Amino acid sequence: MVQAMNKYISTFITIVAGMLFSMSAMAYDGARLWLPAASDANGATVKLEAKGAAAAIAAQELRDSWSGNGTVVLRVKRDKALGEDGYRIIPSGDNLTVTANSGTGLLYGAYHLLRMQSMGKPVDSVITEVPAFDLRVLNHWDNLDGTIERGYAGKSLWKWEELPGKVSPRYKEYARANASVGINGVVLNNVNASSRILSREYIEKVRVLADIFRPYGIKVYLSANFAAPMQLDSLPTADPLDKDVAKWWKKKCDEIYAAIPDFGGFLVKANSEGQPGPCDFGRTHAEGANMMARALRPHGGKVMWRAFVYSPVDADRAKQAYMEFQPLDGKFDDNVIVQIKNGPVDFQPREPFSPLFGAMPSTPQMAELQVTQEYLGHANHVAFLAPMWEEFFGWVKPESLKAIAGVANIGDDENWTGHPLAQANWYAFGRLAWNPALTSGEIVREWLPAGVYGSHDVPADIKSGIEDMMLMSREAVVDYMMPLGLHHLFAFGHHYGPEPWCNPEGARPDWLPSYYHRADSAGIGFDRSPSGSNAIAQYPEPYRSLYASSSTCPDNLLLWFHHLPWDYKMKSGATLWDELCRHYERGCVAVSDMQKSWMKAKPYIAPELYRDVEERLATQARDAIWWKDGCLLYFGEISGMPLPDDVTAPVHTLEQLRAVDLGISNYESPSTSLLNSKR
Ligand code: BDP
């Protein structure tokens, strides 16, 4: 009896231990991102035929995590076709050889192998990869006090008060994550830059980060305040043509490069939203940029000069950057790259491309994409952004660009990005910066196994449900926030919820929704056609003609370019009003479909991850209704038209929604309480 009991107990212990073991194997660790955890279990044989820190990391990554049977040889070998960062992977039986011109190339090759492994794909033919852009850079909008402008994942990763003495282990993890997706440049601080980052004290701190990032092939850049000579050293002017100013920047660059020999250069936001710039001294953007470029030139540094400007040279904000920058074509030194936001206004859920792209053939240009979801639901909404960027690369050919930048969505939250699925946007940015020909589908299928499924064996129908959820998520946001080309209907300040009625006294008109939607009894939309602001004249053919007439303009940009009557007949045959209502409805339905796909996948997802996303999806669903009700009730009052029968009746009143006052840091959906009180 006792024996039987003991056997029972030991079997029980074995089962519990087994359960605990498999639970821990399955546990979700958001901090790991899409990367394998180091384990000694595989013991892959790696032969390193290359010197240097990056190559050594490549070898260690494979030793830790590669589960192939044969030997992997990592070899630096001259091969012109591969450039600085490219690599070739050559299988031969069980063995593999990775070749590259540099250790960094080998590192990228090693991460390629680990990516294949996490997707369960065999390496059975030669793989050759060369990045489309030499410069693939993340822009952090991190302030020196630890806050992040438009950051929704905690505080800044950079602990300036601790540096240079204390070094967080996350700096290295961050560098590893970036290298694993091909990112090779990092601007550490906000474009609304404090001059202090250029002080001797901070250069010492930056040096420590640069030293940690270097083995991962990552260069450090800084956002520079144009008035730094005045602010740091009390020069009487920052005029770029003043000899002492130019001398100051030269000296500053010498100082930076003495500490950081491979420093990348400066990112500059000048004469934009109150930032100082050359125009304050009667000089042009080119004169300002060139002065800084000449200080960097002897060291091989670059200036990324932003074209995000909108001084009222024209009544249409969408035209202003082009008007200021296009005439400067050919006037920039060749180590200046003009950095242009993807759209002509400001990172809206959908914008046409900025017409500046391609309009300055003698000036190097780079695209600035926003990875952080300033205008797409912050860290509360699922919005997989690869489809947006794919759309952009459909308009702007990667060959016409010199480099690519993404405004980071990373903070010191344990899972780095707040929303666990927003990790996919960091990943997607890196992958597209490497290869803009990748489709959103390919990227999401790469990311999901490591990012979401972990060790689970997931049935095909569940996988396709989650893939669809990700792939449709950005369009869902467009539908429930601002479909048909509407833009900037956001509440003043936080850019989270809807406030198409917003009209605070004394505010800049071009910061107000009514400036953009122009809804009146006659209709809705911004007339940018030849009869309106004629912004379409800035576009090349075939877009100019396509956008000029409402009959040819694609529906999804219609109200960006045209002001149309509420009963305008759409291509579908419906009235504009009915179609608008149906888009809002469609967005809400899409979020509820996303919730269903997530629920179905529950058995295959680690419980912590499941719950976290489930909760955020519930918030997103409530927010979608908030958006739909807010916009349709408001526009309905103006149009005087009723909701079509197939659109769900509002659950809020306009009065309730007008009363919602989201403090700048309060991102909670008001619909939470409103909806709850209805139930
Ligand atoms: C806007 C942001 C603002 C940034 C600005 C910029 O609201 O916080 O400083 O862009 O890109 O989207 O400079």
Summarised one tens digit per residue, pLDDT across range 23-47 is: 434 578 999 999 987 665 566 899 9
Q: Are 497 and 660 in contact (CB under 8 A)?
A: yes
Q: Are 272 and 306 in contact (CB under 8 A)?
A: yes
Ligand 1 atom closest to residue 150's alpha carbon, by position in its atom list? 8
Nearest CA to ligand 1 atom 11: 308
Task: List residues with catalytic annotation.
Answer: 273, 346, 374
Phi-psi region of 222 (alpha: psi -120 to 50; beta: other; left: phi over 0): beta
* C-alpha 679 to ligand 1 mean position (Å): 39
Per the prediction, the chain carries an average pLDDT of: 93
pLDDT at 676 over 50: no
Ligand 1 atom closest to residue 269's alpha carbon, by position in its atom list? 13
* C-alpha 63 to ligand 1 mean position (Å): 43
* C-alpha 475 to ligand 1 mean position (Å): 23
d(CA 416, CA 410): 5
Using DSSP, state whether 426 is helix, strand or coil. Answer: helix
DSSP state letters, 516-574? HH--BTTBBS---STTTT-GGGGSPTTHHHHHHSTTTS-GGGHHHH--B-TTPBPTTSS
pLDDT at 425 over 90: yes
Q: 1 falls in which pLDDT band (50, 70, 90)?
A: very low
- pLDDT for residue 492: 80
Q: 69 falls in which pLDDT band (50, 70, 90)?
A: confident
pLDDT at 20 over 80: no
- pLDDT for residue 330: 98
* C-alpha 640 to ligand 1 mean position (Å): 35
pLDDT at 354 over 60: yes
Reported as type and span, the H/E element at residue 100 is strand 95-100
List ligand 1's pocket residues with C-beta within 6 A: 149-150, 191-192, 269, 273, 308, 346-347, 374
Nearest CA to ligand 1 atom 1: 346
* C-alpha 86 to ligand 1 mean position (Å): 34
pLDDT at 440 over 60: yes
d(CA 279, CA 275): 11
Ligand 1 atom closest to residue 275's alpha carbon, by position in its atom list? 13
Half-sphere exposure of residue 404, counting CA atoms within 13 Å on the CB side?
29
| Ligand 1 pocket mutation pick from 192, 223, 271, 494 by most atoms within 8 angstroms of CB | 192
* C-alpha 161 to ligand 1 mean position (Å): 25
pLDDT at 62 over 90: yes
Q: Are 68 and 93 in contact (CB under 8 A)?
A: no
| Torsion on CA atoms 27, 31, 34, 37, rounded to nearest 10 | -70
- pLDDT for residue 25: 44
pLDDT (tens digit per residue) in 175-234: 999 999 999 999 999 999 999 999 999 999 999 999 999 999 999 999 999 999 999 999
Mean pLDDT, residues 228-244 = 98
- pLDDT for residue 44: 80
* C-alpha 427 to ligand 1 mean position (Å): 22
Mean pLDDT, residues 477-481 = 99
| Ligand 1 pocket mutation pick from 374, 375, 378, 407 by most atoms within 8 angstroms of CB | 374
Which strands sit side by side in the sheet containing 71-76, from one edge to the other?
Answer: 45-49, 71-76, 95-100, 87-92, 127-129
pLDDT at 503 over 90: no
pLDDT (tens digit per residue) in 96-132: 999 999 999 999 999 999 999 999 999 999 999 999 9
Exposure string for 246-255, b = 16+ CB within 10 A, e = fewer: bebbbebbee
* C-alpha 81 to ligand 1 mean position (Å): 39
Terminal Cα-to-Cα distance of the chain (whole angstroms):
57
| Ligand 1 pocket mutation pick from 273, 317, 510 by most atoms within 8 angstroms of CB | 273
CA dihedral sign, ordered 370, 376, 379, 385: negative
Using DSSP, state whether 373 is helix, strand or coil. Answer: coil
Q: Are strands 365-370 and 403-407 parallel, antiparallel or unpaired?
A: parallel
pLDDT at 266 over 50: yes
* C-alpha 215 to ligand 1 mean position (Å): 32
List Cβ neighbours of 438 (8 Å cut-off, separation of 6 or more). Answer: 431, 432
pLDDT at 669 over 80: no
* C-alpha 351 to ligand 1 mean position (Å): 16
Long-range contact set of residues 468-471: C-beta below 8 Å, sequence gap at least 24: 468/597, 469/382, 469/593, 469/594, 469/597, 469/598, 470/382, 470/384, 470/421, 470/424, 470/444, 471/384, 471/387, 471/440, 471/441, 471/444
Nearest CA to ligand 1 atom 2: 150
pLDDT at 6 over 70: no
d(CA 203, CA 208): 9
Reported as type and span, the H/E element at residue 617 is helix 607-639
- pLDDT for residue 26: 56
| Torsion on CA atoms 649, 651, 652, 653, rounded to nearest 10 | 40
pLDDT at 547 over 90: yes
The 10 Å Cβ neighbour count of residue 6 is 10
| Ligand 1 pocket mutation pick from 142, 150, 272, 320 by most atoms within 8 angstroms of CB | 150
Tokens standing for 368? 């600035």
d(CA 34, CA 581): 39
The 10 Å Cβ neighbour count of residue 205 is 21
Pick the more confident residue, 176 or 454: 176
- pLDDT for residue 13: 42
Ligand 1 atom closest to residue 375's alpha carbon, by position in its atom list? 12
List Cβ neighbours of 38 (8 Å cut-off, separation of 6 or more). Answer: 64, 65
pLDDT at 22 over 80: no
Q: Are 35 and 180 in contact (CB under 8 A)?
A: yes
Nearest CA to ligand 1 atom 9: 192
Nearest CA to ligand 1 atom 12: 346
In terms of C-beta density within 10 A (0-12 exposed, 13-18 middle, 19 or more buried), how is residue 419 classed? buried
- pLDDT for residue 42: 65
- pLDDT for residue 5: 44
Q: 562 falls in which pLDDT band (50, 70, 90)?
A: very high
* C-alpha 189 to ligand 1 mean position (Å): 13
Q: 661 falls in which pLDDT band (50, 70, 90)?
A: confident
Mean pLDDT, residues 54-76 = 95
d(CA 53, CA 104): 9
pLDDT at 544 over 90: yes
pLDDT at 438 over 80: yes
Residue percentage of the chain with pLDDT more than 70: 93
Of 187, 181, 182, the C-alpha closest to 158 is 187
Q: 323 falls in which pLDDT band (50, 70, 90)?
A: very high
